[in-house]
């Protein structure tokens, strides 16, 4: 086994036996019980997903879906109100500044300013983002 050979195969064989018992008594198309997925999660700390998939006759994708934490949240990102970071005053040593904004409707705006701006950057950003204050 790949991860820890010294751990022995006893744990894997016990889980393999539990899967075999479940398969022999399950109703057709019944999903794998959460208790068995917990055992797979435990094994994933000691064995590679390939070793587990082979021993338990599971697909790599199914193991990854149930064992590995999801990197993409199903919930959308929370809304963020406009945050005023103070007056926009580039330092004399800076020659330019770029500001990229995305409003709640998903529209994007990129504003590049060189030197001292002659427009109200804060007001423009608030208007674009829909802030009426």
The tokens for 130 are: 């829909």
Question: How confident is the model over 90-112, as pLDDT tens digits?
Answer: 555 556 777 788 877 778 888 78
Predicted pLDDT of residue 84: 63
pLDDT tops 90 at residue 80: no
Predicted pLDDT of residue 85: 59
Residue tagged 């009426």 (tokens) = 132
Question: How confident is the model over 17-44, as pLDDT tens digits?
Answer: 999 999 999 888 889 999 999 999 888 8
Q: 49 with 63: CB under 8 angstroms?
A: yes
Q: What is the pTM of this model?
A: 0.48
- Smallest CA-to-CA distance from 36 within 86, 50, 55 is with 55
Average pLDDT, the chain: 76
Higher-pLDDT residue of 47 and 6 is: 47
DSSP label at 69? P
């Amino acid at each position: 086994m790949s991860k820890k050979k010294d751990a022995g195969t006893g744990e894997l064989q016990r889980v393999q036996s539990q899967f075999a018992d479940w398969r022999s008594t399950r109703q057709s198309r019944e999903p794998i019980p959460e208790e068995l997925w917990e055992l797979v999660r435990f094994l994933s700390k000691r064995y590679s997903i390939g070793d587990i998939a082979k021993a338990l006759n599971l697909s790599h994708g199914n193991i990854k879906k149930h064992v590995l934490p999801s990197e993409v949240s199903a919930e959308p990102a929370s809304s963020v109100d406009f945050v005023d970071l103070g007056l926009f005053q580039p330092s004399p040593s800076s020659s330019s500044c770029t500001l990229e904004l995305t409003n709640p409707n998903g529209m994007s705006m990129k504003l590049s300013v060189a030197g001292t701006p002659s427009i109200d950057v804060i007001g423009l950003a608030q208007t674009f983002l829909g802030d009426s204050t």
